[in-house]
Structure 1
Amino acid sequence: MSRISTENKLLKIIKYVMPIATLFISLIFTLFIVFSNIDEFNKESKNLRHDYIKSQKELVKSEVLRVYEQLKIEHSNIEKMIKVEIKNRTNEAFKIAMNIYKEHQNLSHEKIIKLIKDSLRVIKFNDNRGYIIINDLKGNSLLNPPNKSIEGKNIINIQDNTGKYFLSDTINMLKEKHEGYISYNWKLPYKNDNKYYRKIFFAKELKALNIFIGTGEYIYEYEKKIKQKLINRVQNLRYGLNKFVFIIDYNGKYLSHIKQEYIGKNRINLKDKNGVYITKDIIKTAKKGEGYLSYISTVMPETNLPAQKTTFVKGFDKWNIAIASGFYDKKIDLKIQEKKKELDENNRVYIYKMLTFSLLIVIILFIISIYISSYLEKYFLKYRRKIYKEVEKNKKKDILLAHQSKMVAMGEMMENIAHQWRQPLSIITTSASGMQIQKQMGVLDDETQNKSLETIILNAEHLSQTIDDFRGFLKNKNKQEKFDLQNVYEKTSKLISSKLESNNIKLSTHIEEVIINGYENEFIQVLMNFFNNSVDAFKLNKIDVNRQINLKIYKSKDFAYFDYSDNAGGIKDEYIDKIFEPYFTTKHKYNGTGIGLYMSQQIITKHFNADIKVENIKRNMKKIGVRFTIKIPFE
């Protein structure tokens, strides 16, 4: 097909296909918008569920924590409230006693004390747990309503279960400050559990009669009262849409719940239809501190039917109770259905608008595409000749570059052949001229002739082998195969050894048997390039003595390592990061092309999937050479 025919077809494609493609793309875009809106609706539905669950979780958690904080505050204030109450009760009794004393000062102290005892004996408070006691400052019990048998007896040496002489301590305290608190352990009168409970006691001295009046309260009893008061408060608590907080003790007994019939019941073995032990899991979570759990609730208040429920639980270990509140997923589904109707309507309106808008855009773009195709046709014809000229120029440049690359490779090859052939040719010339002189002089015998011919043949074979070695190096192998890096070194050595010897370069090697997969000739090319660069560097940096190249090939479990170094003076710091760039060279004096290291890096990274690094070798802050490290994975 001719070039003109191809261009005419291309112009027709630009002219007719572009409008059609525009129409097609517009339709695809419209469909994309439609399906994107459907997908967006599905995502929005999921987001709605996610956001609703998140907000409900935050709501129930905040309410549970609010109740928890109330319990915590009340619990922390129990002793303070007890002290305030027993002090007030004591002061009330003290005021009564003082009034009696003032009204009957003409009577004896014994009679006044009897009047006070009779007045205070009947006082009861705190659900009849509280009472007033009177003792004198010698330790004699004068009034003890629940235990009249000790009245009139000296109990100064009475002790609690820790050995504390609490009455003696009370008297000593009153001698110093006339009123105050003291705590001790004592049994509860109505309990036969033989346990001691902490009690706080307040006493106030009536100095005129040498007596003191006081009362006390068991922390356990007062705490129980406060606990029940708070539970009753929680029982009446409602928030949100029919949400409530419920409380369970660590034994499984329900202390507070919206369902009155649950209160007081032990439901430790309550299990939902999935086999989840609801009460046990709530208690377990509470003992850990706090957390969410999900289960099938026995009843949803709005429907009186079981429903999926998510509950937040917080443990209050001071009272061994779990505070909890939850929400039902069913409510989420109802809200999502409402939102779905709203979104369906919004999407229907949006899709209609988008279809109308897209059709309008298609028409506009169709007109624009006709104009653009005509415009492109005119200017394509205008620049056709210019493009042809540029193409022809680029072709010539490519041919020239390829020719230069071939000439560089051939020049390096010829240089290496010259080095390899120099010594054998010298030997052949010497042997041949020797035979010629001996023959002219008539002294050439058969033995000498045979030895000279063997020498000539042997060196001729060496020259032939050199040709085979270079021919093998120049062969292009398109198939990867396994090869030994020892062989790479040996083949490279045959090609380069004469050049190294002629430049007085000593080669030190440590070569292990390492087999890798790839292109052997390409690796030889890399190694040849390293050797040639070192030779040039010795000359460029004018290093004439102790020229040294070190080569190490070894392996680990997963990698093969190729370590090449020399003492040719290294690379300038400002150049070392650029040496793998194409056409960058520091060897203009030696006709460097800047292609060698670039090609080496391309071969290593792309054909062997390996890493290549370069660094200067320094000794006493002075660059003495360069090191190339290649790390090749086995797989």
Structure 2
Amino acid sequence: MKKYNENQILFIIRWAPISFIVIISIIITYLRLNDNNILHNNEILELKKNFIQTKNNLIKNDVYALEKYLQYSKAKSENELRVLLKDKVYRAHNIASRIYFENKDKNKDEILNLIKDALRYMRFNDNRAYYFIHNIKGKSLLYPLNKSLEGKNYASLHDINGYYFVQTIMKKVENKTEGYDEYYWVKEKNLSSKAYKKIIFTKYFEPLNIVISTGDYIIDYENNIKIQVLKYINTLSIQKHSSLFIINKDKKILSHSNVNLLNKEFGELPLNVQNTILDISEKIPRKEGFINYINTFDAKINLKDEKQTTFIKVFNPWKWRIGSAYYDKELETLIFNEKEKLNKRIDDDFLFTLKASIFSTLAFLLVSFFLSSLVSKRFISYKNELLKEVEKNRLKDSLLAQQSKMAAMGEMLANIAHQWRQPLSVISTASSGIRLKSEFSSLEEEDLYHSLETIDNSTIYLSKTIDDFSNFFKTSKELTRTNTKKIWKNVESLIFAQFKTLNISFVLNIEDEEVYLLKNELIQVLLNLLSNAKDQFVLNKQGGCFIFVNMYIKDENLHIKIKDNAGGIDNHIISRIFEPYFTTKYRAQGTGIGLYMSEQIVTRSLKGSISATNRKYKHNEVDYEGALITIIIPTNI
């Protein structure tokens, strides 16, 4: 069994580090690959996040850029209109000046009529804009749209906001200046009553003391600008395959890369396109935001029914919804390509990790094998040294046991002397009496029988004493089923006479309990402990000596407590009394092995424990102090 354990230990020493290294290498490789996988997934997530953020920012910036272009075009349209109106008025002013200088010989009314005839049919801005003339009093001198209104005074005319714009014209005449003005007016032939902003430019014509004016509705001019803007945007969309699109308030698609959808009435559009436009109008009614929908606009078959992410912004001045989109399929393609790259990188990293792991594992295995072999040799060497030390200790313990036995034999011989003194005296007395009576011829048969019976009883007692001592000195260590009271009787039979001579009394509290243990070993321990107590009484030369013996069963353990009133053990040495060769007696009186052997027997043979303490207590109303020895051993070893 021991050989098996040694081989097992050597096997562990040799292979445990190697197994540990292999396991650690596998774990590290697994963790590395797992980390790579987590990193891979995180990179994919980061890629998605960055792609979405980049694409969102891109289409958002496209829309913002288009919005700025529209804002610029709108602002530019008003400026262009103002410049155009001024230029047209200046041209009219030049025409009037030429007519005037060419016809100075005519009166002013004739010259005015010539100027009116020259300007009446002049049109620009898609025939919307015309010239009109007022005098200093606000009288209309030229109104090409309705000649019947000429000659009427419009000084009190105002727009829907209560602004008297004709009076401003009169001031221009009065101040002999020029300038812009604007007011809100209902357009001609407009069925609704909505007023629109109109810009006019007025210039004073000094020769006739009149002002020549022209104007145009900004919305009409902006519509022209819108057409130009949309042409430009649509050209870019087609050329660059842009994802920009524009939808007006009437849900008409004004700009898109799919030209088949442009400028169609809402009802003429395919139903799925109508639903998408309605979805856009509902989700982004006023400001801006991102929406997702299935593509229905694109003419390309491979992009039909693909999911799109779109950013929409409302351009409030023209009530346009401008947007830009990207296909989520782009993300899938990008992720697929990126996954291919990452998978290749992971495969390369896996091969590198595997090679590095195998190389490092082999290196560690070689080192571990060398170290384990070295440790194995050291272990064998240490084991051999340990066996030598164990053998030395075994010889020493054997010697101690022999010394303890010899000391016990000495004690027993003294006990035998005490035990035999009385029966030998009885035998001697009986035999002497028989001889005397025989010499004086007074020996009666009854006296002879009585004396012989006395001699016979004494020899039986002597024989029993020899048996008790012989049983004690038997070397067999067999487990015996007995009980606590029998154990004490065996002890008492060996020491009773000697302890009685010394007037040492026993106070017993022994429960009659069955036990299964090494009986002779326990008896030897009890004899050693009682002998030590006896020696202390002799040393103290005290009277009234008591030894208290308690035996009882608790928690399947036999508890034995031996207490005396010999004054106790010195506190400085109480912790050392179970050491070998340690004694508190004079060198001539003790060997120092009794308590040590008792401790060895209790702990090794009986599998129990032994301890010593000092106790103060009362007995028969008298205070005593002494040593308390406690033994606890299993009832069934």
Calculate the TM-score normalised by the size of structure 2. Answer: 0.54
| Cα deviation code 1:408-465 (max 9, x no counterpart) | xxxxxxxxxxxxxxxxxxxxxxxxxxxxxxxxxxxxxxxxxxxxxxxxxxxxxxxxxx
Q: Which residue of 2 aligns with 1:92?
A: 91
Q: State the alpha-carbon separation in 2 of the partners of residues 343 and 351 from structure 1.
A: 12
Assess, with a 3 A threshold, how the Cα gap between structure 1 residues 135 and 38 changes in structure 2: closer, same or farther: same
Question: Does 2:55 match 1:24?
Answer: no
1:142 aligns to what? 141
What is aligned with 2:291?
A: 293
**How far apart are 1:293 and its partner, in Å?**
0.8
Aligned residue pairs: how many?
A: 381
Is 1:197 equivalent to 2:196 in the alignment?
A: yes
Q: Residue in 2 aligned with 1:311?
A: 310
- Closer, same or farther in 2 for the Cα pair 1:272/1:52, shift >3 Å? farther
User: 1:176 and 1:10 mapped to 2: Cα distance?
Assistant: 121
AA aligned opposite 2:23: F
Residue of structure 1 equivalent to 2:215: 216
* Structure 2 unpaired stretches of 5+: 387-637
Q: How do residues 453-468 of structure 1 correspond to structure 2 at under 5 angstroms?
A: none
Question: Does the 8 Å contact 2:139/2:155 carry over to 1?
Answer: yes
2:291 maps to amino acid = L
Any conservation in 2 of the 1:231–1:256 contact (CA below 8 Å)?
yes
Counterpart in 2 of 1:358? 357
Report Cα offsets for 1:299-329 as digits up to 9, x if no partner.
5444252111111111122222211111112
Instruction: Give the whole-Å Cα distance in 2 for the aligned partners of 1:134 and 1:323.
Output: 42
Give the match for residue 256 of structure 1.
255
Q: For 1:64-104, what per-residue CA distance to the aligned partner results, in whole angstroms no more than 9, with x for missing partners?
A: 11111222233345443332221121112112222222333
The structure-2 alpha-carbon separation of the partners of 1:7 and 1:290, relative to structure 1 and needing over 3 Å to count, comes to farther
Checking the alignment, whether the CA contact within 8 Å between 1:245 and 1:325 is kept in structure 2 is: yes
Q: Secondary structure at the match of 2:292?
A: strand
* Corresponding residue of 2:326: 327
- Amino acid in structure 1 at the alignment position of 2:232: R
Which segment is superposed worse, 239-248 or 21-30?
239-248
Post-superposition offset of 1:143: 1.9
Tell me the amino acid that sits aligned with residue 86 of structure 2. K
Offset of residue 5 of structure 1: 11
* 2:156 equivalent in structure 1: 157
Match of 2:279 in 1: 281
The RMSD of aligned alpha carbons is: 3.5
In the alignment, is the contact (CA less than 8 A) between 1:289 and 1:314 conserved in 2?
yes
For 1:240 and 1:35, how far apart are their aligned partners in 2?
48
Where do 1:234-633 residues align within 5 Å? 234-238=233-237, 242-267=241-266, 277-298=275-296, 300-302=298-300, 303=302, 305-373=304-372
Displacement, 1:357?
Answer: 2.1
Structure 2 letter corresponding to 1:109: K
Cα distance in 2 between the residues matched to 1:158 and 1:282: 44
Partner of 1:119: 118
Q: CA deviation at 1:24?
A: 2.4
Q: Distance in 1 between matches of 2:79 and 2:377?
A: 98
Q: 1:374 to 1:289 in 2, by over 3 A?
A: farther
Contact 2:155–2:166 (8 Å) recurs in 1: yes
Q: 1:387-425, CA deviations, whole angstroms, 9 ceiling, x for partnerless residues? A: xxxxxxxxxxxxxxxxxxxxxxxxxxxxxxxxxxxxxxx
Q: Distance in 2 between matches of 1:271 and 1:250?
A: 18
**Equivalent position SS for 2:296:** strand
- Cα distance between partner residues in 1 of 2:170 and 2:36: 85
Conservation of the 8 A alpha-carbon contact between 1:309 and 1:329: yes
SS in 2 for 1:238: helix
Deviation at 1:131, TM superposition (A): 1.0
Is structure 2 residue 81 aligned with structure 1 residue 74? no
Contact persistence 1:186–1:196 (CA under 8 A): yes
User: How big is the shift at 1:171?
Assistant: 0.7
CA separation of 1:267 and 1:159: change in aligned 2, threshold 3 A: closer
Instruction: Tell me how far apart the structure 2 counterparts of residues 182 and 117 of structure 1 sit (CA, whole Å).
Output: 22
2:158 partner amino acid: Q
Query: What is the Cα deviation at residue 377 of structure 1?
Result: 7.5
For each residue in 1:176-218, what CA deviation from the matched residue of structure 2 results, as whole angstroms up to 9, or x when unmatched?
A: 3511222223221232323332222211101121111111111
Do 1:270 and 1:279's aligned partners in 2 also have CA atoms closer than 8 Å?
Answer: no
CA contact (8 A) 1:272 1:297 kept: no
- Give the AA of the match of 2:48: R
Q: CA deviation at 1:280?
A: 2.4
AA aligned opposite 2:90: N
What residue number does 1:600 align with?
none
- Cα distance between partner residues in 1 of 2:215 and 2:10: 108
Please list, as runs of the form range in 1=range in 2, the aligned pairs for 1:15-54 lying within 5 A after superposition.
15-54=14-53
User: Identity, % of aligned pairs?
Assistant: 31
Tell me the amino acid that sits aligned with residue 359 of structure 1: I
Aligned to 2:495: none
Q: Which amino acid aligns with 1:363?
A: L
1:243–1:327 contact (8 Å) kept in structure 2: no
* Structure 1 residue 141: Cα displacement: 2.1
Q: Give 3-state SS (helix, strand or coil) of 1:95's partner.
A: helix
d(CA) in 2 for partners of 1:39, 1:22 = 25
TM-fit CA distance, 1:7: 10
Whether contact under 8 Å (1:255, 1:264) holds in the other structure is yes
SS in 1 for 2:50: helix
C-alpha change, 1:333 and 1:299, in structure 2 (3 Å) is farther
Partner secondary structure for residue 152 of structure 1: coil
TM-score by length of structure 1 reads 0.54
Counterpart position of 1:463? none
**1:123–1:376 Cα change, 3 Å:** farther
Name the amino acid aligned to 2:137.
K
Return the letter of the residue paired with 2:242.
Answer: K
1:84 partner amino acid: V
Q: Check the 8 A contact 1:235/1:245 in 2, yes or no.
A: no
Q: Is the 8 A contact 1:246 1:256 kept in 2?
A: yes
Q: Distance in 2 between matches of 1:174 and 1:369?
A: 112
| Per-residue deviation, 1:362 | 1.0
Equivalent residue, structure 1, for 2:420: none
Counterpart of 2:601?
none
Provide the residue aligned with 1:184 in structure 2.
183
Q: Deviations over 1:570-601 (max 9, x none)?
A: xxxxxxxxxxxxxxxxxxxxxxxxxxxxxxxx
Q: 1:372 to 1:284 in 2, by over 3 A?
A: farther
* Conserved? CA contact 1:299–1:306, under 8 Å: no
Q: 2-side partners of 1:376 and 1:95: how far apart?
A: 119
- CA displacement, residues 39-67 of structure 1 (integer Å, 9 cap, x when unaligned): 44444334333332222211111101111
Instruction: Rate the CA distance shift 1:241–1:164 in 2: closer, same or farther, 3 A.
Output: closer
Distance 2:265 2:281 in 1: 13
Could you tell me how far apart the structure 2 residues matched to 1:319 and 1:376 are?
Answer: 91
The structure-2 alpha-carbon separation of the partners of 1:347 and 1:314, relative to structure 1 and needing over 3 Å to count, comes to same
CA contact 1:267–1:279 (8 Å) conserved in 2: no
Residues 586-635 of structure 1: per-residue CA shift (max 9 Å, x gap)? xxxxxxxxxxxxxxxxxxxxxxxxxxxxxxxxxxxxxxxxxxxxxxxxxx
CA distance in 2, matches of 1:33, 1:99: 94
Q: Which residue of 1 aligns with 2:108?
A: 109
| Contact 1:237–1:244 (Cα < 8 Å) also in 2 | no
* Cα separation, 2, equivalents of 1:65 and 1:239: 20
- Give 1:277 deviation, angstroms: 4.3
Q: Is the 8 A contact 2:291 2:311 kept in 1?
A: yes
Name the CA distance, whole Å, in 2 between partners of 1:289 and 1:378.
85
